[in-house]
Amino acid sequence: MAKITAWEKVQLARQLERPKALDYINNLFDEFIELHGDRNFADDKSIIGGIATLDGKPVTVIGEQKGKNAKENLERNFGMPNPEGYRKALRLMKQAEKFSRPIITFIDTPGAYPGLGAEERGQGEAIARNIMEMSQLEVPIICIVIGEGSSGGALAIGVGDKVVMLENSIYSILSPEGFASILYKDSSKAKEAAEDMKATAEDLKRFGIIDDIIKEPKDGVQNDFDKVIKEMKKYLVKNIDELEKIPKKKLVEQRYQKFRNMA
């Protein structure tokens, strides 16, 4: 069987029919209650979040939500959050800490929204604050890259005790097109850039950037979604149970050192 190239994995990660955050939330958890708004400006529909139960245990779940067609993508801003989306996510994470609920995030974004309004409302500050606050939360955090994980848009909900990737997802500093435009001065070289970026799950596991890889069918998660859900649920239950046994101060210190060692 021929090995799937990095560019082919980029294409798989971007498939419209690929399951989105809500698909995972609705199939992994029971009793999901979505919570809205950042209590400051608006409710950003590109980030969803709320309370659910996993195997009977209360958890907080947060995900970047893309659409599966043009209408849905317009509603969800193509999965590109504004500052109020990240502030909503942080509000829910601080609530989770208050009530000792583990946090699970689903990363799937081409990047934070780069619009003028987003910049005026503090896009960079919102991302930076989330990274800082997540590093200090005294509850277990598991982050799962389910499709695209690009730029600060991914990092803003990506600081976890465990960072996991689906086999055909990607995790990188920006899109291959953006990388090619900056380094090669030619966005048409995105295919070459995808190889050079080392953004696949296998590459990042080898470099120690992520902790684990969840296997998926060769042609995409949607070809055997039930099997992927079963494996993901098993992974979440096992690791949350293990992380909850670690004293809070030690959990925070381990998370801090984990990301410091990547610098």
Per-residue pLDDT tens digits for 171-221:
998 889 989 999 999 988 999 999 999 999 999 999 999 999 999 988 889
In this prediction, residue 263 carries a pLDDT of 62
Q: Which residue has the higher pLDDT, 178 or 49?
A: 49
CATH fold of 6-258 reads 2-enoyl-CoA Hydratase; Chain A, domain 1 (3.90.226)
In this prediction, residue 5 carries a pLDDT of 92
The candidate with the shortest Cα–Cα distance to 115, out of 158, 93, 85, is 85
- Cα four-point dihedral sign 212, 150, 6, 168: positive
Alpha helix stretches (DSSP H) within the chain:
6-13, 21-28, 70-75, 83-98, 116-120, 123-134, 151-155, 176-183, 190-197, 201-207, 225-244, 248-260
Where residue 148 falls among pLDDT bands split at 50, 70, 90? Answer: very high
**Per-residue DSSP letter, 248:** H
In this prediction, residue 218 carries a pLDDT of 81
Q: How wide is the angle at C-alpha 161 spanned by C-alphas 159 and 163, nearest 5°?
A: 65
What is the helix, strand, coil percentage profile of the chain, to 5?
A: 50, 20, 35
pLDDT, mean over the chain = 95
- Rounded to an integer, the average pLDDT of 108-116 is 94
Q: Residue 1 pLDDT > 60, yes or no?
A: no
- Distance between CA atoms of residues 184 and 192, nearest Å: 10
3-state DSSP assignment of residue 87: helix
- Rounded to an integer, the average pLDDT of 123-146 is 97
Residue boundaries of the structural domains of the chain: 6-258
Where residue 2 falls among pLDDT bands split at 50, 70, 90? Answer: low
- Rounded to an integer, the average pLDDT of 232-261 is 96
Q: Residue 167 pLDDT > 70, yes or no?
A: yes
In this prediction, residue 89 carries a pLDDT of 98
Count CB neighbours of 124 within 10 A: 12
In this prediction, residue 115 carries a pLDDT of 95
In this prediction, residue 249 carries a pLDDT of 96
- Distance between CA atoms of residues 158 and 263, nearest Å: 15
In this prediction, residue 38 carries a pLDDT of 94
Q: Which residue has the higher pLDDT, 2 or 64?
A: 64
Q: Residue 134 pLDDT > 70, yes or no?
A: yes
In this prediction, residue 190 carries a pLDDT of 93
In this prediction, residue 76 carries a pLDDT of 96
In this prediction, residue 262 carries a pLDDT of 76
